[in-house]
Amino acid sequence: MDNYAFTSPVAFKNITWAIKNSLPCKVKISEIRLAVAKSEGFHSIEAYLSELETHTSKQPLDSPPKTPHPMQKAIDAIPDLVDHGIGLFNNGRDIPIAERANAFEADRKELLNRVEVFGLLTDWLMQFEKRKTINTSINSYSLKHQAEKAIGQYVSNGVFIAAAICAGFDFKRSSSTSPNACFNISKPSLVRLAEKQKNNPHKTKPTKADNFRKLLTAGINAALEYGKFSLQSQEDTEGEMMQDLLGRPSLIRWRSIGHGEISFTVWWGLKPKCKISPTTLPMNKTLSDGLDAACSYWIKRKNGAWIQGKGAEGVYDEYMSRDAMRLLSEIPPIEPKGFKASGSFYP
C-alpha cells in the first residue's frame, strides 16, 4: 500500500476495514493527511492548513457572522451612494483625480455614521403609501427637508436615499448626473403631510440672525470636511471654495485676521449674473441680482473654537432675500462639527 494515493472512497473503506478487524495497515502519514484534507473539501493538505490558520488568526471557526450595516441594502443598490447623495458633489469635477478616491471614502464614512438619524427616517417613512410607478414630481432633496421638519434633525441627502431604499421604496436617479433620487411615494401621502405640517407650524420662528448662523455653520463644516484649515491651529490661512451648501451653489471664503482668528464669509445661492469680487460682497449694484444671501463673521480659535457673538452680534456685510429667509427658516439648526455656533465676542 506504500504507493497507494488516498484520492477515492476505496482508500477510506480499506482503512476502516483494517481498523475494525484489528489488522495492520501500512499507510504513509502524508497519505492520511491528504485524505483528511480531501474529506474536508480541499485539494491539498496545504490548502486545508492555510484555511485553518486564517480562521484561527482572524476569528474562531464557530463565531457568528458579522452583522451587516443597517444601510447595506441601499449601498448594494447604489454602489456610489455617499452622504452628499449619489456620487460626489459636482460628480467630483472640483476634486483632483488623485484625491477623488479619498474624498469618496470620507463622504461614505460620513453617511455610515448617521445611523441614529437613519433609524428615525425609516420610521418616519412608514407613513407613506407606495404606488406602482416612480413619483418624479419630488426628489430626495426636497423630501429630506420635509423630514427635517418632522424629526427636528439635520438630514443629509444620502442618508434619506438610504433610508427610503431600506424602507422598501423603489427608486430612480433624477438624472444621469444628479445626486438626487425619486421614489414610488404616493402623491396623496405627500398632500396629507403638507396639510399636517401646515396645521402644526414651528413654535419658534427662526430669526434672520439664526439663518445667518446656519449658513456660517454649514460653510465652516464644509471647509473643515475638505481640510481647508484647522480650528486647532493658530497658523494664518486664506482661501476659498465653491460648494453646494444647503441645496444651493455657494462661495465660501476665509482669511486670517490676526491672533489666530479667521474672517469667514458665505455667499449663498449664487446666480449667473453674480459679479465676483475680492471683498465680502459681490460687485452687483443690486445684491439680489448676484445671490440669495451673504454674511460674514469672525471665528475664534484660541482656547476653543466658536463663531464670535450671539444672535445678530458680530455679523457684517449681511444680505438675505425674502425667498432665502423662507427657505432657510424651514431648515433645522445645523450641528457644528468641532466648534460652537456662538460665543463671546470679546473673549
- The more confidently predicted of residues 309 and 21 is 309
For residue 343, is it within any domain?
no
The larger pLDDT score, comparing residue 124 to residue 13, is at 124
Q: Quick one: average pLDDT of 179-199?
A: 84
Query: CA 237 to CA 239: how far, in whole Å?
Result: 7
Q: Give the C-alpha separation, 132 to 126, whole Å.
A: 16
On whether both 129 and 216 belong to a single domain, the answer is no
Residue linked to cell 434633525: 153
User: What whole-number distance in Å separates Cα of residue 274 and Cα of residue 271?
Assistant: 5
Residue 97: pLDDT band by 50, 70, 90 thresholds?
Answer: confident
Kindly tell me if the per-residue pLDDT of 151 is higher than 70.
yes
Q: Are residues 212 and 103 in the same domain?
A: no
Parallel, antiparallel or unpaired: strands 248-258 and 238-245: antiparallel
pLDDT tens digits for range 239-260: 999 988 888 899 999 999 988 8
Query: How sure is the predictor about 7, in pLDDT bands with cuts at 50, 70 and 90?
Result: very low
For the residues 72-82, what does the mean pLDDT come to?
94
Residue 202: what pLDDT?
47
Residue 1, pLDDT above cutoff 70: no
Which residues are CB-neighbours of 327 under 8 A, at least 6 positions away?
A: 247
Q: Which of 23-27, 150-154, 218-222 has the lowest mean pLDDT?
A: 23-27
Distance CA 89, CA 95 (A): 9
Looking at the structure, tell me whether residues 29 and 141 fall in a common domain.
no
Tell me whether residue 305 is in a domain. Answer: yes
Rounded average pLDDT over 204-209: 80
Give the pLDDT band (50/70/90) at residue 345.
confident
Rounding to the nearest 10 degrees, give the CA dihedral for residues 143, 146, 151, 156: 40
Q: Grid coordinates standing for 181?
A: 433620487
Distance, C-alpha 231 to centroid of its chain: 22
Is 337 within a domain? no
**Count of the separate structural domains present in the chain:** 3
Q: In the listed set 199, 219, 249, which residue is the last one of a domain according to the structure?
A: 199
Roughly what angle, to the nearest 10 degrees, separates helices 322-329 and 208-225?
Answer: 70
Q: Is residue 340 part of a domain?
A: no
Residue 3 domain-assigned (yes or no): no
Stronger pLDDT, 114 or 151, i.e. the higher one: 114
Q: Is residue 52 part of a domain?
A: yes
| CA atoms of 86 and 164, how far apart (whole Å) | 14
Work out the end-to-end distance of the chain between its first and last CA atoms, rounded to an integer number of angstroms: 91
Interval 52-72 mean pLDDT: 66
pLDDT at 195: 76
In this structure, are residues 231 and 224 in contact, taking their beta carbons and an 8 Å threshold?
yes
Among 55-59, 208-212, 334-338, the minimum mean pLDDT is found in 55-59
Q: How far is CA 325 from CA 23, 250, 288, 345, in A?
A: 95, 16, 13, 25
Buried b (16+ CB within 10 A) or exposed e, 196-214: eeeeeeeeeebebbbbbbb
Over residues 183-198, mean pLDDT: 83
Whether 253 maps to a domain, the answer reads yes
Across the chain, what does the average pLDDT equal? 83
Domain edge (last residue) among 164, 180, 199: 199
- One domain, residues 180 and 113: yes
pLDDT tens figures, 102-124: 989 999 999 999 998 899 899 99
The answer to the question of residue 307 being in a domain is yes
* Cell of residue 70, nine digits: 443597517
Half-sphere exposure of 65 (CA within 13 A, CB side): 3
Range of the domain at 179: 72-199
